[in-house]
Structure 1
Amino acid sequence: MPNTVVIIDDDVELTELISQYLTTNGFEVHCFHHGGDIELIIQEFNPDVILLDLMLPDVDGLTICKSIRDSFAGVIIMLTALGDEIDEVTGLEVGADDYLAKPVKPRVLLAHLRAQLRRQSKLMPTNKSPSIKFYGEQIVIDNSKRVVTVNEQQVNLSSAEFDLLWQLALKVGEIIKREELHEQIFRLPYDGLDRSIDLRISRIRKKLGDDPKEPNIIKTVRNVGYLLAL
């Protein structure tokens, strides 16, 4: 089955160009020029990836991303014509998996899209490690279903958040360097400045009920990385 991509962008010409290119490369594509019906769109088409414009006529992309992130486990790639770095940081904070500035070349977008899907597939379950229990067995990560529970209550993590928590869980009790996590999640070398991992750690802590000021579950090792407590 082809991967399904939903494009939400009010630039009709760009949307048609991207849609044709992705369709030619084996994707099923559905295009919309507003985000007001995003939840209905997700229910109907169950996309693997959402390409989401930052500036829309009815509601901005950041608001949409924030509203669906806890319930949508697929990839969200933000598109914007703005070049302000604060927009990229804000996009990552509300749960975007990737971020591209317009005008974006279709080949570049395709590469990013495939990289995100490849990252997901490489972090999918194996028979050797279907699930991990930690922190007094109060928290369970089921990699076969990609589900996390805290005290038997399911926690909604984004795809990228789950992948990051799984990497920490595979080495529970060990310090993992920030650059190692970055390379595992994004398949790119760490430049020393990117805050993507830190932002996702912050979101995971909040969802697990960890104290952000004095975390006990995911501990920060200053100038090194992170550690998932036993």
Structure 2
Amino acid sequence: MAKSATTVLIVEDDAILAEVLGEFLNSKGFDAIIESNGADAVDRIRDVNPDIVILDVMLPSVDGFEVCRRVRQFYSGAILMLTGRTTEIDHILGLELGADDYVTKPVPPSLLLARLRALLRRVDNRAANGDTFAQTAQIGCLVLHYGARQALIGTTNVELTTIEFDLLWLLAQQAGSTVERDSIYRELLNREYDGLDRTVDVHISKLRRKLVGQGGEADWIKTVHGRGYQLFVQAS
């Protein structure tokens, strides 16, 4: 049986841009669906459960930030924010609300395609690696079940997005050692760290808060300044 096309929901109120992106992605083998309204996008994501969402920030009815916040309550797929805003605070806000990555308009189609493929490659790699899929990692009282995408502190479940779990799993594989920031960007986002990008820093910050919220400690993930991050969890 032929593999079904990857479904991409484009949430964009600029009809011309949405059509251009849709036609481009369809030509690259994707199944592109277009939605122009923020409130309707929430329902469409719930109904369709697309593989990935391209989410514009400026939308009628409900803006992209609020759409992201709402759908993260039930949607675990990848979200790529598409924004005309260039300030760092806007980029950070999108990531804080659950986006996996962002691109700034105007974006060359080739760059958008590269970002989509990078986000989807993490999913494909997980599915292709059966040995890893079945693995469990335990560091102190923190237990990670790779296949189930589940993180536990003792018996308490920690709700994580896909990229947050992947980041925690990456750190867990080298627990006690420093994972270089450059390596994290290449492994999770399939791009080089440019010295300015805050994407991974924001995901680390969210990850710390979620672990602390379920009984973990803030210093489980240590920042090694100028290098990267280190996971160290003491036994309970």
Match of 2:79 in 1: 76
State the TM-score, normalized to the length of structure 1.
0.87
Match of 1:169 in 2: 172
Measure the CA separation in 1 of the matches of 2:38 and 2:203: 24
Match of 1:132 in 2: 137
Match of 1:92 in 2: 95
Measure the CA separation in 1 of the matches of 2:159 and 2:117: 24
Alignment of 1:106-185 (within 5 A): 106-123=109-126, 125-128=129-132, 130-136=135-141, 139-185=142-188
Measure the CA separation in 2 of the matches of 1:71 and 1:168: 26
Q: Would you say the 8 A contact 2:8–2:30 is kept in 1? A: yes
Code of the aligned partner of 2:6:
N
Q: Would you say the 8 A contact 2:37–2:60 is kept in 1? A: yes
Measure the CA separation in 1 of the matches of 2:73 and 2:223: 24
The alpha carbon displacement at 1:27 in A equals 1.3
Q: Would you say the 8 A contact 1:70–1:157 is kept in 2? A: no
1:63 corresponds to which of 49, 62, 66: 66
The answer to which structure has the higher helix fraction is: 2
The alpha carbon displacement at 1:89 in A equals 2.5
SS of residue matched to 2:219: coil
Code of the aligned partner of 1:10:
D
The alpha carbon displacement at 1:123 in A equals 4.7
The alpha carbon displacement at 1:180 in A equals 2.1
How far does the alpha carbon of each residue in 1:26-47 deviate from its partner, in whole angstroms, 9 at most, with x for none?
Answer: 2122211112134432221111
Pairs aligned (count) = 226
The alpha carbon displacement at 1:208 in A equals 1.4
Q: Would you say the 8 A contact 2:9–2:50 is kept in 1? A: yes
State the TM-score, normalized to the length of structure 2.
0.85
Change (3 A) 1:42 1:151: farther
Code of the aligned partner of 2:103:
L
The alpha carbon displacement at 1:48 in A equals 1.0
Q: Would you say the 8 A contact 1:172–1:228 is kept in 2? A: yes
How far does the alpha carbon of each residue in 1:117-158 deviate from its partner, in whole angstroms, 9 at most, with x for none?
Answer: 11332355541561112223xx22111122222333332212
Measure the CA separation in 1 of the matches of 2:73 and 2:182: 26
Q: Would you say the 8 A contact 1:173–1:228 is kept in 2? A: yes
Match of 1:229 in 2: 232
Are 1:51 and 2:46 matched, yes or no? no
The alpha carbon displacement at 1:193 in A equals 2.3
Runs of 4+ that moved beyond 6 A: none
Gaps of 5+ in 1: none
1:13 corresponds to which of 9, 12, 16: 16
